[in-house]
Amino acid sequence: MFPGISRRRVLGTLARFLPWALFSGSAVQILHAAEVGAASLPARALLPSVLRELFPHAGLGDEFYAEMAGVLWQQMLADPVKLQEAESGLARLSACCGSGGWEHAGTDARVAALIGMQEEMFFQALRDSALMLIYRDPRVWEHIGYGGNALAQGGYLTRGFDHIDWLPGVQP
């Protein structure tokens, strides 16, 4: 097809340059991730306490909320647009809490800031993602007394829910 260029020459050239091309792309991604990670530290640090304020459970410790925030942050890192929205949204949230920011604000100021942002797309996406992540965790189920999927465990009737003595006219 192309005079003077053999298949062997094309394959040899590809063999020499393909590893370099792959590495350079990976290196750029690694450098970009490091750059994004450094810029995102303040926003990333707010996320566990924002999750605790959104879904407060006294029996779930700081390490639980930090773990959930880490999972959410990894999801955001996969999408640069979501990451940018999260960084700017969390910065705005902190700014809504006054001069001390989110870290030094009381519960009332934090809740007011969250209520003020509840119509924003960033907030709704964060809330929905966190809701799905947190309430699918069996540790939360145990904490709130949810026994899990009833159908997968034989239904409610075989698990002690077969009495309805509180209805008039029904015999247990």
Segment 92-121, tens digit of pLDDT: 888 888 778 888 888 898 899 999 999 998
pTM here is: 0.66
| Residues whose CB falls within 8 Å of the CB of residue 157, separated by 6 or more in sequence, listed in order | none
What Rg do the C-alpha atoms of the chain give, in angstroms? Answer: 26
CA 16/CA 55 separation, integer angstroms: 54
Say whether pLDDT at 131 is over 70. yes
Between helices 121-134 and 107-117, what is the axis angle to 10°? 110
Residue with tokens 């590495």: 23
Segment 42-97, tens digit of pLDDT: 778 889 999 999 999 988 999 999 999 999 999 988 988 888 988 988 888 888 88
Minimal CA–CA distance to 65: which of 148, 137, 119? Answer: 137
